[in-house]
Amino acid sequence: MPAALTLTIHTLGMDAHRAMADQVRLGLTRSPKELPCRYFYDDRGSALFEQITELPEYYLTRAETEILEARSDELATITRPQVIVELGAGACTKTRLLIGSAHRAGSLRCFVPFDIGEGVLRSSVSEISSEFRDLDVHGIVGDFASHLDAIPRLGRQLVMFLGSTIGNFEVAERRRFLASVRALLSEDDFFLLGVDLVKDERELVAAYADEQGVTAEFNRNLLNVLNRELDADFDVGSFEHVALWNAAASRMEMHLRANGGQRVRVPGAGLLAPLEVSFEDRETVRTEISVKFTRGIVERSFADAGLDLRAWFTDSGQRFALALATAIPLRHHALDLAERDQLDVPNREDLEVPAGDHVREPAAGDAELARGFPKSQGLHVDVNTSSLH
Ligand code: AVJ
């Protein structure tokens, strides 16, 4: 069977630039200031991120790779995918392990990488298709917030979202994202999510404030991007990298702190006149959140979106986890997420317990939600396949 190579492009065109201008204007006029982390990844930012993944302090990539190296055959056996869909595919380095296992197991026919970056996606598509010659590769350039419904269902699928990218989402964004993943899944499909775990604060902070200062460069590069894309005049050297652990929200945060008062013009983000922003001495702008999870948080986020945690794999250092889920079949009277919002049923995420707390008493609203998404019947086995459990 000849392999097909398709590249579907959902270009945001002018809208992407408009969206950036709007998000930057909103973020810089808010107090405290914030900037969207998605704009880190221009060519230099992507190269710096690649460098970060090799830093001694940044354990995330190595820990996730360790799990995939140890478990991809097992994952392929459990999920038997005909199609692997990878959200935020990037360079597909880790995915290759799973593609290899599913390919050897004989089930895999098609790989669908989905990414916002057209350049990186084009090179992944051609690399994967030259490595696995009989595989159909259908790349999609899009934004997970708006184009997940462009993903065709070409067979029994394994949808993956690796690298703890989900940690960049605020609680509401995460709910929306997981609900749209749920909508992609048929009964025999699986979802595999990579999450970084709550751990010792020093280890977390070190991972985001490395000795060599690569993360600091990565962080400051966001200002270079704004200078170039929105004609801003940030004095990049006057901002210092800050990495801190926010225990209440169970997340790492990166900020940039103004060294001395600053007045910045951002013409491309203005509406009628160029946007003018001032920073007090030592004022910070938050540039990234990176949520750290527990199994309990993952389980509850999944349940809220109609997903059922089926297996949990961790690395030998218990630093990172891969969570495998299936869709909970919706009963005809089930509340969907939109209806639930209208009915003002408490959202479990708002009841989320602080970091490190794995158990929680049932809260008001849980019974309601449990009725909304009944546990799947029959084959449900909650296997904890972690070798250390
Ligand atoms: C690619 C979003 C998972 O949050 O750890 C690395 C990005 N930021 N160092 C992360 C990042 C600072 C990374 N993610």
pLDDT value at residue 51: 96
User: Residue 363: pLDDT band by 50, 70, 90 thresholds?
Assistant: very low
Residue with tokens 């398709």: 6
What is the reported pLDDT for 356? 36
pLDDT at 33: 98
Q: Give rounded-to-5 percent helix, strand, coil for the chain.
A: 40, 25, 40
Stated as kind and residue range, the H or E segment containing 288 is strand 284-291
Ligand 1 atom 14 nearest Cα? 165
**CATH: 3.40.50.150, 3.30.365.10, 3.40.225.10, 3.30.70.20. Which one for 60-201+293-383?**
3.40.50.150
pLDDT of 304: 95
| Reported pTM | 0.85
Say which range, 22-36, 46-60, 78-92, 206-220, has the weakest mean pLDDT. 78-92
The DSSP call for residue 155 is S
Angle between helices 295-304 and 171-184 (to 10 degrees): 60
Choose which residue among 39, 164, 212, 250 to substitute to test ligand 1 binding: the one with the highest number of ligand atoms within 8 A of its C-beta: 164
Residue range 286-300: average pLDDT?
98
Cα 191 from Cα 59, distance rounded (Å): 23
- Closest atom of ligand 1 to CA, residue 49: 6
| Amino acid identity for residue 290 in this structure | S
Distance from the alpha carbon of residue 369 to the mean position of ligand 1, in angstroms: 32
Three-state SS for 9?
A: strand
Q: How many Cβ atoms are within 10 Å of 332's Cβ, its own excluded?
A: 4
pLDDT at 2 over 50: yes
As given in the structure block, the two tokens for residue 388 are 């250390």
Q: Which of 10-24, 107-121, 339-353 has the lowest mean pLDDT?
A: 339-353
Q: Which residue matches tokens 């977390």?
A: 204
Going from the Cα of 15 to the center of ligand 1, the distance in angstroms, rounded, reads: 25
Of the pLDDT bands very low, low, confident and very high (cuts 50, 70, 90), residue 7 is low
Q: Is 208 in the pocket of ligand 1 (CB under 6 A)?
A: yes
Q: Are 326 and 376 within 8 A, CB to CB?
A: yes
Q: Are 117 and 49 in contact (CB under 8 A)?
A: no
Axis crossing angle, helix 214-229 with helix 14-28, rounded to the nearest 10: 110
Which DSSP symbol is given to 117?
Answer: -
Q: Is the confidence at residue 235, as pLDDT, over 90?
A: yes
| Contact call for residues 260 and 281 (beta carbons, < 8 A) | yes
Output the CA 139–ligand 1 centroid distance in Å.
23
How confident is the model at residue 341, as a pLDDT?
A: 54
Q: Is the CB of 290 under 6 A from ligand 1?
A: yes
Band of pLDDT at residue 358, cut at 50, 70 and 90? very low
Q: What's the DSSP call for residue 347?
A: P
Assign 143 a pLDDT band (cuts: 50, 70, 90).
confident
Per-residue model confidence (pLDDT) at position 335: 54
CA 140 to ligand 1 centroid distance, Å: 23
By most ligand atoms within 8 Å of CB, the mutation choice from 290, 291, 320 for ligand 1 is 290
How confident is residue 161, by pLDDT bands cut at 50, 70 and 90? very high
Contacts of residues 256-264 at CB distance under 8 Å and 24 or more positions apart, as own/partner, are 256/219, 256/220, 256/222, 256/223, 256/284, 256/285, 256/287, 257/282, 257/283, 257/284, 258/282, 258/283, 258/284, 262/234, 262/235, 262/238, 264/232, 264/233, 264/234
Name the one residue in this structure whose structure tokens are 């317990």.
353
d(CA 312, CA 328) in angstroms, rounded, equals 17
Q: Is the pLDDT of residue 349 over 60?
A: no
Cα Rg for the chain, rounded, in angstroms? 21
Statement: residue 298 has pLDDT above 70:
yes
Tell me the pLDDT tens digit for each residue of 203-233: 999 999 999 999 999 999 999 999 999 999 9
User: pLDDT band at residue 72, thresholds of 50, 70 and 90?
Assistant: very high
Backbone angles phi, psi at 159, to 5 degrees: -100, 130
Mean pLDDT of 148-166: 92
> Which residue's CA is minimally distant from atom 5 of ligand 1?
290
Q: Check residue 86 and give its pLDDT.
A: 95
Rounded distance, CA 216 to CA 304, Å? 36
**Amino acid symbol at 185:** L
Residue 268 has pLDDT above 90, yes or no: yes
**Per residue in 315-329, pLDDT tens?**
999 999 999 999 998
Q: What average pLDDT does the chain have?
A: 85
pLDDT in the model for residue 297:
97
Q: Give the whole-angstrom CA distance, residue 64 versus residue 172.
A: 25
Statement: residue 13 has pLDDT above 50? no
Using a 10 angstrom Cβ sphere, with 0-12 exposed, 13-18 middle and 19 or more buried, the burial of residue 289 is middle
How far apart CA 240 and CA 281 sit, in angstroms, is 11
Taking the centre of ligand 1 as the mean of its atom positions, its distance from the CA of residue 179, in whole angstroms, is: 23
Distance 336 CA to ligand 1 centre (A): 31
Report how far ligand 1's centroid is from the alpha carbon of 60 (Å).
Answer: 9
Instruction: State mean pLDDT over 34-52.
Output: 93
